[in-house]
Structure 1
Amino acid sequence: MKKAVISLGLIVAISPLASVYAQDDSNFYLGARVGSSTLSDACQVGSCDDNEVGGGLIGGYDFGNGFSIESTYDYLGHFDASYSPTPGAISGDLTALTLAPKLGFGITDQTELYGKIGAAWWDWNSNAGDQDDISLLGAVGLDHRASDLVNVRLEYQYIHDMDEGYFNADNHLISAGLTFHFGRTSEPEPVVMVVEEIVIVETVAEPKKYVFSEADDVELFAFGKATLSDGASQQLGPMLKRLQDFDTSTAIIVGHTDSVGSEAFNQTLSEERAQTVANYFVDNGISADRLSVVGAGESDPVASNDSSEGRAKNRRVEIESPEFVYEE
């Protein structure tokens, strides 16, 4: 038997159970935030930190992959301050317009930690006179994608050293916000491709040929008859087993006669004997479409018909099973 090894690649697609959010889809977004705003160091002597409610609007463009350009406009609160030699109590409103790049680092599929460093144009509008300037802005936060449309965020923002004229202070804003992202869609979770190698061993069965002739003391049939003898099943057993064990095996059954009698009689007898052998296989579970039946009559002798020994060799049935392939 010959063996052939065939290697097949089996690709198994594991379907996603859920969707994850694409973090690289570009979009515009708008939103708002509100929180606690603290004006610190707004006096020259002692501690004069003042806390108010602050909030504002958010707008930006997300380029994808964690990079955005973002601007905010915030009302940071109405604060009290004290500076000398300015007489009396000072109170005023603080607003800020900011612009900064926003850099995000994903910590889950939906949530990122981000930071901003940019500029804040602030305006202090008070009873002692207005002051405005540009100061350094820094912020850190968490941004969570709740849906295709909505993000929620928590942020700490710091505007450093707002120093112009008599006004000198810092601002701290801790806020919660919502942003609405337009034109953003979620993507399905990438399909996990599992590549498994399957090795199939194919075996090639060699052809088999059996010749049953009276010269070999094998009597499948009585003289001039087409019915199987009592011992025929023992002789046909090896070929039957091959056909039963391997569904891909087939057999060609050819009947032969000697030249005694008429040519027409011998032709019919050879066909009937070949068919009788085929019927034996069918009765034992072999499909008829796996069997080919041929009657050769007296046309293909293997020995001379002039002697009894030669005629015995010519009275024969040949069964040939061609080569076939099966999987182990």
Structure 2
Amino acid sequence: MNKMIIVVSAASWMVSAMIHAEVYVGGKVGKSWLDDSCRPTDVCDDDSSAVGAFLGYQVWDHVALEAGYDHLGKFTGAGMVNDHVNAVTIAPKFDFPLYQNLDLYAKLGGAYVDYGSKDDWSYLAAAGLELSANDNVAVRLEYQALTDINNDIVRAQGNMATLGVTYRFGRSESTPVVASKPRPAVAEPAVVAKTPEPVPAEPAETQVIKTVKKSLSSASSFALDSAVLSKQGVADIQDVVELMSRHSQATAMVTGYTDSTGSKEYNQSLSLKRAQAVADQLISQGIDADRITVRGMGESEPVASNDTKDGREQNRRVEVEVPTFTYQVVIKE
């Protein structure tokens, strides 16, 4: 009963996080075996088949929290005769992007293990590879060890090598993310005043400023894997600030891009954060937010090959575009 309470409590705590978008569930199957579960005089059967299920919450871009239930199978050894070994686990999961949609990950945490007729707390360590098939589904190959399982006769270690599938909730196919603009304020009814006598308008001349484009390299404008704009990045957009300050007709499109290193989801998030950092700097210098559109394009639209270091550096960029606009210049006679 106590074990069931622990399972239900852990699962309930994780399910409560499902109001957020970064929640995922999964299952896994594979091979299991025990180390140090038998003495020389014991009848020993320390190999079996394993299944498991897990629920996770993505706390940050590269850190998640996972809870799981693993059935390692049936074993015979010291203090066990064809007995089940089950475990309730919880651990943080740390992701290390390797290439495009492939991540290396590690988990370090704890487990409550049902080891035959005994229950014991154990340490958990795991490592694996995770390949994202699309925005929602990923496949993972994992090795997991439960150490220091004590049944008062031996201290054993439970091992699992499994193939698993993960499904993430709240994801859709990768599309450019566009930051929403503030909703315009509703104008108060105007007070009707007596119409003054018309004043002859001074002659005016229409002038055109053609599209202005500015590209900020992440090498000089941002630190590695950071969305904080550097002093050089602030200096690089001063000409855009001056142009938009002089001409209220000017608008700006700020678009972030990355190279293809790392997962598609991480690149999408980082590109939007960097574009937003540039937009926030424009706003801080007096440019109205409703004159700025922000997009994150991730690893799409590369300008160079991602197979070389120089090419990847060129692809990590934020582009600021001020489209062509016209304005009136009053001619003094």
Normalized against structure 2, the TM-score is what? 0.45
**Structure with higher RCO (Cα < 8 A, 6+ apart):** 1
Normalized against structure 1, the TM-score is what? 0.46
Higher relative strand content: 1
**Larger CA Rg, structure 1 vs 2:** 1
Higher relative helix content: 2
